[in-house]
Chains A and B, each alone.
Chain A
């Protein structure tokens, strides 16, 4: 297992500790090149596909490739037990570091223990692990909710009726973002009436529930969505609901709409962390393997853009897919994928 040491970390600009109390790890330095594995769960959506493309692209960058002996990716589907088995297999097969996008953040206690015993560096991202024993590269999900709500509070002068389009029930991401939104709204002192629907982070579903809500409620003063935002805007357009402020995620399609209709009232705050966070996770893993000091919990910055700052080719891409997630730059970590790079990656390989 790693030694718990005092901060700061080797690269304090990139590896920002989550809180003042965050521990710092120092693993015994190993000689490279390393065998690193990515244990992904579900794969069949754009976010995950993009994430895997990014991981491959990052691992192929010359300075990273030089430090890697092997980079292996396995996707095990929805089933958390299969993912646990995959991580165990990686441990047994002698990989030096394992990067995980967990299906269920709570389910990895035994795995974390096993990795520790085997001296394997375990780094979780996106859905981080509920543990202080492994490294988490963490998005501030609650902070994202706070960000959207704060922006709505600032943009809508007198409060009003908000449609909150939630994600998948039963997940911690959904809960954290929801909590962030509500705490902020409640504290604002304005009067808010929030209607909640579940859009499952999916455009058609979000569109359908939004359309239903508009048909029944007639009018909203603001929107906030955790995903499926493009669909939600589409539903506004289809229902001829006048454009109102919208705090949402970082889908390319959403930003396209925001750029196009911003002047007509669709003022947006678009924030989130794109799939490129996998690169930060790999970077962290490599740093740990090399014996550098890293925080147990790394706080990822949010990639945000607000009305009227949507610029084609910079923070959205009109010629690319709507499903593409745009928040891919972490300048403090020297990670700055542009869209074409990610989407074109395997085309060049093939």
Chain B
């Protein structure tokens, strides 16, 4: 009953805008206007492009988080899969000329591999995702510590990574944003127009029914986690490109914001409901909020309090579950 009252269709057969998405975008505008009271620069194209560029890293990572959340699962291995992506890509850069080419695919592939472990644990061993991904996060951390200590790895980004993350092709639009748009377009297509996407929504709503409908649920879950792992790692690659180097802790700051942006975008953490556009709004919101709080010289304590309060405030505006009756 509670689920029916405010439910959204999964796998959009129509493309009407969700209320949460609209409100989230309205919040973005409100936030910018509020910021502009402090400094006009918050409305300058420079600043906005800079925010979009930074948001694109979170955006790529949150794409993976969205897919997993739509399944009704959660991926806590984000921090170290991001690090694995960045560190493996930069490590590959050291393999001479081939390395420069291989860097990005190799980093992503490592993320996919660990994502497969996540997916295998969830789909085939049926361990709750919250805990397998936590364990895989610990394993990834262990691997990276061994890697750093044992192989004195290269950790500078390849030129291609730099270009991808910091360059800009046309109209001053940063490449990172273009990459995000590309990934976003793929995600929208996959979620709305493919049997895979439809199955993801189905599993998120009721895995048992999806299984009895003859969907190969285990394979879908495995794939979804692999995809999420790859996207986390790709986020790491971009981040390494942006910082021109990789470091162990680089993913720490992305786990909770990724989950928060997916949910701020109107997705249900229980799975089966949510849209990519919402996630985009959530990502931009979180990025802006963090940036504005940092720039207006708020002390850290106050920043934390305001950050939490604003998230709750916004969710109360539009993220509420249906009433029981």
A and B assemble together? yes
Give the residue among A52, A204, A320, A321 with the most B Cβ atoms within 10 A. Answer: A204
Segment from B38-46, B224-232, B271-279 that makes contact with A: B38-46
Stretch with Cβ within 8 A of A (4 or more), from B20-28, B143-151, B184-192: B143-151
Question: In the assembly, what is the distance between CA of A230 and CA of B243, in Å?
Answer: 8
Q: Are A208 and B54 within 8 A (Cβ)?
A: yes
Contact B145 A49 (CB under 8 A): yes
CA distance A323 to B144 in the complex (A): 14
User: Considering the complex, which residues of chain B in the window 239-262 have a beta carbon less than 8 Å from any beta carbon of chain A?
Assistant: 239, 242-245, 247-250, 252-253
Of residues 198 through 217 on chain A, the ones whose CB sits less than 8 Å from some CB of chain B are 198, 200, 202-205, 207-209, 211-213, 215-217
Q: B residues within 8 A CB of A200? A: 253
Q: How far is the CA of A198 from the CA of B299 in the complex (A)?
A: 9
Specify which of A200, A202, A320 lies most central, judged by the most chain B CB atoms within 10 Å of its CB: A202
Is A46 interfacial (CB-CB < 8 Å)? yes
Contact A238 B166 (CB under 8 A): yes
Residues of B within 8 A of A45 (CB): 247-249
Q: How far is the CB of B242 from chain A (nearest CB, A)?
A: 7
Name the distance in Å between B304's Cβ and chain A's nearest Cβ: 9
A203 touches B245 (CB 8 A): yes
Say whether B47 contacts A216, CB under 8 Å: yes
The answer on a CB contact under 8 Å between B295 and A323 is no
Residues in A whose Cβ lies below 8 Å from that of B244: 230, 234, 322
Judging by beta carbons under 8 Å apart, are B242 and A207 in contact? yes
> Which residues of the partner chain A approach B294 to less than 8 Å between Cβ atoms?
197-198, 209, 212-213
B145 to chain A, nearest CB (A): 6
- Whether A350 is near chain B, meaning CB under 8 Å from some CB there, is yes
B contacts with A, residue count (CB < 8 A): 40
Task: Name the contact of B150 in the complex, choosing from A44, A46, A350 (C-beta under 8 A).
Answer: A350
Partner of B149, one of A212, A253, A320, A346: A346
Contacts A202-B249, A204-B250, A322-B155 given; indicate if A52 touches B149 (C-beta within 8 A): yes
Bound-complex Cα distance A209 to B287 (A)? 11
A170 within 8 Å of B (CB atoms):
yes
Q: Which residue of A lies closest to B244 (CB)?
A: A234
Report yes or no: A321 in contact with B41, Cβ–Cβ below 8 A. no
B158 at interface (Cβ–Cβ under 8 A)?
Answer: no
Given known A207-B243, A209-B294, A321-B153, contact A44–B300 (CB-CB < 8 A): no
* B59 vs chain A, min Cβ distance (A): 14
**Contact across chains for A202 and B149 when beta carbons are under 8 A apart:** no
Residues of B100-142 contacting chain A, CB below 8 A: 141
Please give, as numbers and ranges, the residues of chain B lying within 8 Å of A207 by CB-CB distance. 242-243
Q: Is the CB of B245 within 8 A of A213?
A: no
The answer, among B145, B155, B156, B242, for a CB contact under 8 Å with A204, is B242
Determine if A231 and B243 form an interchain contact, defined as CB atoms under 8 angstroms apart: yes
Encoded as 1 (CB less than 8 Å from any B CB) or 0, chain A from 211 to 228 comes to 111011110000000000
Distance (Å) between the CB of B44 and the closest chain A CB? Answer: 7
B54 partner, pick from A211, A218, A320, beta carbons under 8 A: A211
Q: How far is the CA of A238 from the CA of B167 in the complex (A)?
A: 9
Contact A44 B46 (CB under 8 A): no
Q: Which residues of B contact A215 (CB under 8 A)?
A: 41, 44, 46-47, 50
User: What is the bound-complex CA distance between A213 and B294, given in angstroms?
Assistant: 8
Contacts from B to A (Cβ < 8 Å): 39, 41-42, 44, 46-47, 50-51, 54, 141, 144-145, 148-156, 166, 239, 242-245, 247-250, 252-253, 291, 294-295, 297, 299-301
Binding site for B on A (CB under 8 A): 43-46, 49, 52-53, 169-170, 195-198, 200, 202-205, 207-209, 211-213, 215-218, 230-231, 234, 238-239, 253, 320-323, 343-344, 346-347, 350
Q: Which 7 A-B pairs have the closest CB atoms?
A: A169-B300, A343-B152, A215-B47, A216-B41, A322-B245, A204-B243, A212-B291
**19 A-B pairs with C-beta separation under 8 A:** A44-B248, A45-B249, A49-B145, A49-B148, A169-B301, A170-B300, A196-B297, A204-B239, A204-B243, A205-B253, A212-B47, A212-B50, A215-B46, A217-B41, A234-B243, A320-B152, A321-B153, A322-B155, A350-B150
**A198-B294, A202-B247, A212-B54 provided; 15 other pairs, C-beta below 8 A?**
A43-B145, A197-B295, A202-B249, A202-B253, A204-B243, A204-B247, A205-B253, A212-B294, A213-B294, A216-B295, A234-B243, A239-B50, A321-B152, A321-B155, A346-B150
